[in-house]
């Protein structure tokens, strides 16, 4: 990802692009943009990057929450393959409550369905809105800040070649983390296959009527 080329191409629209990108997901994008904000040329400002990344992430998850609240059960019947991820997210919500709402953006495997699943729960609109806003701001600060710190570090150490080399190293870091998470997930699946745990899954009708604890 050549973030500097994107900044050059979109210029004043780059923050709008940040909002749109983080509406869907965007950790990698925010890290690279944070590194760009660390450059001496300062093509973008870290504060504005954090603000638009937080708003994009916040609005995206509010939208998914609305979809889950309004159409959740219908969509699960239409796309039953979503059910395991939704059940996993709801299980973590019931176990960790506020902690899950504040941290689901950092949990791989359930984050894509977390807001949708919470829309199907008894979590109220005001409660989710407040906690989701706090979580989005923390998320944006952490990822943009990480990119900024790494960018400044590479720039200090490598001088003129910091931009290109820094972005390459960021890419290596992200790929390394992703591969590590993939191997960890694969290891858990193998362990589960060796020592299976018998569970009873409720039918769709039973799941629709399941009483979930009010948060």
pLDDT digits (tens, 9 = 90+) for 98-138: 999 999 998 877 888 999 999 999 999 999 999 999 999 99
Query: What pLDDT, on a 0 to 100 scale, did the predictor assign at position 182?
Result: 64
Region 177-199: mean pLDDT is 54
**Looking at residue 27, what is its pLDDT?**
85
Cβ atoms of 151 and 43 closer than 8 Å: no
Q: What is the pTM of this model?
A: 0.73
Residues 140-145, mean pLDDT to the nearest whole number: 94
> Is residue 72 predicted with pLDDT exceeding 80?
yes
> What is the dihedral sign for C-alpha 107, 110, 115, 120?
negative
Radius of gyration (Cα) for the chain, nearest Å?
20
Q: If 0-12 CB within 10 Å is exposed, 13-18 middle and 19+ buried, where does residue 111 land?
A: middle
Inform me whether the pLDDT recorded for 160 exceeds 80: no
């Amino acid at each position: 990802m050549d973030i500097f080329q994107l900044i050059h191409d979109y210029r004043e629209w780059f923050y709008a692009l940040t909002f749109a990108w983080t509406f869907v997901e965007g950790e990698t994008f925010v890290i690279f943009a944070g590194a760009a904000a660390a450059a001496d040329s300062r093509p973008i400002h870290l504060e504005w990057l954090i603000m638009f990344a937080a708003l994009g992430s916040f609005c995206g998850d509010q939208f998914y929450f609305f979809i889950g609240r309004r159409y959740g059960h219908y969509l699960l019947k239409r796309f039953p393959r979503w059910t395991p991820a939704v059940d996993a997210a709801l299980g973590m919500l019931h176990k960790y409550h506020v902690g899950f709402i504040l941290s689901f953006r950092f949990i791989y495997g359930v984050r894509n369905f977390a807001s949708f699943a919470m829309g199907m729960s008894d979590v109220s609109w005001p409660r989710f809105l407040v906690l989701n806003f706090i979580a989005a701001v923390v998320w944006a600060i952490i990822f943009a800040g990480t990119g900024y710190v790494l960018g400044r570090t590479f720039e200090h150490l490598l001088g003129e070649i910091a931009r290109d080399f820094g972005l390459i190293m960021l890419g290596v870091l992200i790929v390394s983390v992703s591969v590590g998470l993939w191997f960890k997930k694969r290891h858990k699946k193998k362990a589960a296959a060796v020592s299976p745990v018998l569970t009873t899954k409720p039918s769709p009708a039973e799941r629709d009527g399941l009483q979930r604890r009010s948060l």
